[in-house]
Structure 1
Amino acid sequence: MSNFRVEKKEGFRLLGFKTVLEGGNVHSPQYTNQKTEFFKGVLQNGQMALLRPLAETSYGYAAVALEQGSVFYYAGVQTSQPAPDQTGEVLFPDSDYLVLTGNGGLSRLAFDKLEDQAFHEILTNEYEWEYTGAPVAEILLNGNPSDAQVEVWVPVKKRN
């Protein structure tokens, strides 16, 4: 059974806190520790608790987005509510997405494994779909980062 599919998704907005990632393009193994430390920080300092009341789903969201030549990582919630001070937003377009699913283990490791699969095994020159350059979503489905159920959504388009 395959752990990925291409699926049409409606656009949505992620509201969250962000940090710049150093050392690569939209997907890089160098990001693992940076993402982990940033996410831990926004949990421990109470920033995520400020966003939870605005959440329109029970899922945990993160995003990797290219902005003005830099790569940013966002930790936040899906919402259409007004943005509190010092938060940023990522707009995910109506699009086809390569949706990868994983279960078990630490969420960060699961996300990294799925992103490696997407960018190194699936989205090759031989595959009929290619990455569009839009933000990539990391979604914690079960709220348990120690024994995670996760999805990664990579926006794709048909290859010419």
Structure 2
Amino acid sequence: MNNFKVEKKALFRFVGFKTKLEGASFIHSDEFSDQKTEFFKSVVQSGKMASLQPISESKNGYAVVKSDGKNTFYYAGVLTSQPVKADTEEVLFKEGDYLVLSGKGGLSRLAFDRLEDQAFNEILNKEFPYELHGEAIVEILLNGNPLDSEVELWVPVKAK
């Protein structure tokens, strides 16, 4: 399992379209997979994702999973410092440590699901010197190919 590391990230800002995920209230649940896929596809197919490209400051594809303790939300969007566009919301990520997991090959949704399972079911355990610190995680499609993906998952953590 050499596909993860903890690294410091500077403050960054995400802007995207949002939907509420049904099922669990925790940030990670297997119940969310199909809902995430359908929402992201709908944002792309409707042209909404393309409408964010002029303000995007990265060529990568981004999604965010965020919990407020009662509900979990999924966002499709971009990293930007530009003003929020109509019907979008921003999610601010503080400077700090992030558990960064990498995966390659196959469908992007399956790759993200595997990395989330690894982070929450295997790595963030009693022996690991870090714990979850925050209410949002970031999914990044690095190569632009959701059918043969290269992905990263960023999970905010703090030292125990």
| Shorter-normalised TM range | over 0.9
Q: Is 1:63 aligned to 2:64, yes or no?
A: yes
What CA deviation, in whole Å up to 9, does each residue of 1:16-57 have, x standing for no partner? 000001111100000000000000000111100100111001
Find the counterpart in structure 1 of residue 4 from structure 2: 4
The sequence identity of aligned pairs, in percent, is 60
Q: CA RMSD in A?
A: 1.0
State the one-letter code of the partner of 1:15.
Answer: V
Instruction: Say whether the 8 Å CA contact 1:92–1:134 is kept in structure 2.
Output: no
Find the counterpart in structure 1 of residue 38 from structure 2: 37
Find the counterpart in structure 2 of residue 18 from structure 1: 18
How far apart, in 2, do the equivalents of 1:139 and 1:95 lie? 18
Instruction: Say whether the 8 Å CA contact 1:106–1:145 is kept in structure 2.
Output: yes
State the one-letter code of the partner of 2:107.
Answer: L
Q: Is 1:47 aligned to 2:59, yes or no?
A: no
State the one-letter code of the partner of 2:22.
Answer: E
How far apart, in 2, do the equivalents of 1:134 and 1:9 lie? 16
Please list every run of 5 or more consecutive structure 2 residues that lacks an aligned counterpart in the other structure: none
Please list every run of 5 or more consecutive structure 1 residues that lacks an aligned counterpart in the other structure: none
3-state SS in 1 of match to 2:43 = helix
TM-score normalised by the chain length of structure 1: 0.97
Misfit runs of 4+, over 2 Å: none
Kindly report which structure 2 residues correspond to 1:1-160, keeping only aligned pairs within 5 A, or say none: 2-24=2-24, 25-67=26-68, 69-159=70-160
